[in-house]
C-alpha cells in the first residue's frame, strides 16, 4: 500500500459533506480530521486544538508569511486557515487526513500540496439541494436564492477535482468516498519501491 494521503472534500452548503465526513471518521479511527486555525474568539464549548487552533492576528499573519498554512482566507473580519504542520505530522505518522473545505480553499491546497486527493460532493439535482436548504427552516427565500447561486458557482469547480460523489443516498455516498480512499492506497505511485518490498529487498 502507498503512504498516507490527504483527502480534500468539498461541496455546496447543505449537500451533506459534513455528515459524510463524520460517518467516515466514526467508522475508521485511523483517519484524522484536519483542525483549522482562526483569529476569532472561542465560543462556548469550543476547545483549543479540537474545535480550532485559536491565534491572534499577529500570530496568524506571521504564520502566513512563514508558509505555515496549506490554505487561508479572511471571512467576516477574521482569518481562517489550515495549519500545515499538524497535517504533515499526521501524514508522516501514516494516518490519512481529511480536509473539509470550500472550493476556494481547495484550490489553494492544490497549489501548496498537489499530491492531495480532491473529492467533490454533489447533490442529485439543484432542486434537491433547494429542498434540503428549505428543510432546515432557518433560511428566508432571499437566503435560499443566495445559497443556490453560491452552490452553482461552486459546482463550476468540479473539473479541478479528481472524483465526484452524488449524495442522493447517505449510506451509498459514504461507501463511495470510502472506496475512493481505499483505491488511492493501491495506486502505483512508486513501482520501484513496491517491487523491492515484494522481492524482500528492503
Provide, rounded to the nearest whole percent, the portion of the chain with pLDDT above 90.
68
Do 83 and 151 sit in the same domain of this protein?
A: no
Q: Give Cα 33 distance to the centre of its chain.
A: 8
Angle at which helices 141-155 and 126-136 cross, to 10°: 140
- Ramachandran angles phi, psi of 37, nearest 5°: -105, 150
- Ramachandran angles phi, psi of 75, nearest 5°: -130, 120
Where does a domain end: 95, 113, 138? 95
Do 27 and 51 sit in the same domain of this protein?
A: no
- Taken in order 183, 184, 186, 187, is the CA torsion positive or negative? positive
Q: What is the pLDDT of residue 130?
A: 87
Whether the full predicted model's pTM is greater than 0.85, yes or no, is yes
If pLDDT is split at 50, 70 and 90, which confidence band does 191 have? Answer: confident
Do 90 and 121 sit in the same domain of this protein?
A: no
Q: What is the pLDDT of residue 140?
A: 82
Do 146 and 80 sit in the same domain of this protein?
A: no
In 3-102 the beta strands, taken as DSSP E runs, fall at 6-10, 32-33, 37-38, 53-54, 69-75, 78-83, 97-100
Q: What is the pLDDT of residue 2?
A: 64
Do 88 and 103 sit in the same domain of this protein?
A: no
Query: Residue 157 class from Cβ within 10 Å (0-12 exposed, 13-18 middle, 19+ buried)?
Result: middle
Q: What is the DSSP-derived secondary structure letter of residue 31?
A: -
Do 90 and 106 sit in the same domain of this protein?
A: no
If pLDDT is split at 50, 70 and 90, which confidence band does 60 have? Answer: very high
Average pLDDT rounded to a whole number, residues 102-109? 93
For 132-175, write each residue's pLDDT tens digit: 888 776 678 888 888 889 899 999 999 999 999 999 999 999 99
If pLDDT is split at 50, 70 and 90, which confidence band does 77 have? Answer: confident
Give me the domain span that covers residue 85: 36-95
If pLDDT is split at 50, 70 and 90, which confidence band does 26 have? Answer: very high
CATH number of the domain where residue 84 is located: 3.30.63.10
- Between the two ends of the chain, the Cα-to-Cα distance in Å is 15
Amino acid at each position: 500500500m502507498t503512504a498516507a494521503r490527504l483527502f480534500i472534500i468539498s461541496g455546496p452548503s447543505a449537500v451533506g459533506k459534513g455528515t459524510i465526513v463524520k460517518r467516515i471518521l466514526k467508522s475508521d479511527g485511523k483517519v484524522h480530521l484536519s483542525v483549522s486555525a482562526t483569529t476569532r474568539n472561542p465560543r462556548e464549548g469550543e476547545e483549543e486544538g479540537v474545535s480550532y487552533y485559536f491565534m491572534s492576528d499577529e500570530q496568524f499573519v506571521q504564520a502566513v508569511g512563514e508558509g505555515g498554512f496549506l490554505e487561508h482566507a479572511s471571512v467576516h473580519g477574521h482569518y481562517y486557515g489550515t495549519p500545515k504542520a499538524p497535517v504533515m505530522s499526521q501524514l508522516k505518522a501514516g494516518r490519512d487526513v481529511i480536509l473539509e473545505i470550500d472550493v476556494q480553499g481547495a484550490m489553494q491546497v492544490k497549489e501548496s500540496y498537489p499530491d492531495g486527493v480532491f473529492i467533490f460532493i454533489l447533490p442529485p439535482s439543484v432542486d434537491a439541494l433547494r429542498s434540503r436548504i428549505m428543510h432546515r427552516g432557518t433560511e428566508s427565500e432571499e437566503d435560499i436564492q443566495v445559497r443556490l447561486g453560491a452552490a452553482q458557482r461552486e459546482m463550476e469547480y468540479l473539473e479541478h477535482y479528481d472524483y465526484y460523489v452524488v449524495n442522493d443516498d447517505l449510506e451509498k455516498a459514504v461507501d463511495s468516498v470510502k472506496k475512493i480512499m481505499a483505491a488511492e492506497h493501491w495506486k502505483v505511485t512508486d513501482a520501484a519501491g513496491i517491487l523491492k518490498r515484494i522481492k524482500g529487498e528492503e
